[in-house]
Structure 1
Amino acid sequence: MISHEQIVHFSEQLSKGKAEAEAARNIMKFMCAGVGLVLQDEEVSPIVKSAFAAAHKYWFEREKNEKELNAVRVKCWDFLEAKGRDVDIEDNEDAAVRALFCVMYPDRVSDEDFVQESFQWFFEMINRVGDFSQAFEKLAAKVALEGGA
């Protein structure tokens, strides 16, 4: 599992020497790429795959698709609600969707508190899915170095 110390280290590593906006964007890209790592071994609904694709396009291709991102976020909430999981988290897919939500609010990326709270929640959900500590160590180093994954 990813420890609190690792989470703090990731945040510092992704933010070091960067202006606040660039650091926040690095953190969002890291989380988005992290969701991709988690989803590659999970069986998830096409709705979740489509939402991840929209988030990836937004953070990595710099395509300003806020409307699309907002629409797929709503579809993900509807999907969880249809499963009766709008409150409860019962399986890996539920946790992965909630981790994905952390990168589906592009208009909030300038809110430092929102980014830090999302970062904490993101890892709470990732740890529910499995132990990705080694993969995330490598990912954090890559994003910090390249500014992307």
Structure 2
Amino acid sequence: MIWRNLMVAMVEGLQPYRGRLPAVVADSLDVASDYWRCGRGRPEDLLGAKIECWTYLAERGSSLQVGDDEARLTRAVLCTLEPSSDAEAASDLAEWFQIMLASLE
């Protein structure tokens, strides 16, 4: 339950940035929203969206860098695409998510 609540909070926290997301990343956020907020979809859908985001980052040369807002927002969306984990991972993921959003310009 903690994991789902965290994912819902992160999905909702990303909504104000929706207009700044590249299309593929916005689509991935929709997948996360459907899964976490609406109970639609499967864990495999999250994985597919995760692959799309990483492919986007790799194509723009940002797979190892968080140097601009698009890369930071994409990484924040990636946080919402993890199907499950434990409390320690939830804490780490929440911290990373917060760092990505706090560093936006």
| TM-score of the aligned structures, taking structure 2 as reference length | 0.91
Instruction: Give the aligned partner of residue 6 of structure 2.
Output: 27
- Structure 1 unmatched runs, 5+: 1-20, 131-149
Matched-pair contact (CA < 8 Å) for 2:75–2:100: yes
Matched-pair contact (CA < 8 Å) for 2:29–2:80: no
Percentage of matched positions with identical amino acids: 23
**How many Å separate the matches in 1 of 2:102 and 2:72?**
9
Instruction: Give the aligned partner of residue 4 of structure 1.
Output: none
Instruction: Give the aligned partner of residue 124 of structure 1.
Output: 99
Q: Deviations over 1:10-52 (max 9, x none)?
A: xxxxxxxxxxx2x332221101111122224x1x321101100
Matched-pair contact (CA < 8 Å) for 1:38–1:126: no
**How many Å separate the matches in 2 of 1:28 and 1:69?**
12
Aligned length: 105
Structure 1 residue corresponding to 2:80, chosen from 103, 121, 126: 103
Kindly state the Cα deviation for residue 105 of structure 1 after the two structures are TM-superposed: 0.7
Structure 2 residue corresponding to 1:89, chosen from 66, 85, 104: 66
Kindly state the Cα deviation for residue 90 of structure 1 after the two structures are TM-superposed: 2.1
- Structure 2 unmatched runs, 5+: none
**How many Å separate the matches in 1 of 2:18 and 2:67?**
16
Q: Deviations over 1:115-147 (max 9, x none)?
A: 1100000000001125xxxxxxxxxxxxxxxxx
Cα separation, partners in 2 of 1:69 and 1:126, compared to 1, 3 Å = same
Cα separation, partners in 2 of 1:107 and 1:26, compared to 1, 3 Å = closer
Instruction: Report which of the two structures shows the higher radius of gyration computed on alpha carbons.
Output: 1
RMSD over aligned Cα atoms: 1.3
Matched-pair contact (CA < 8 Å) for 2:76–2:97: yes
What secondary structure sits across from 1:90 in the alignment?
coil
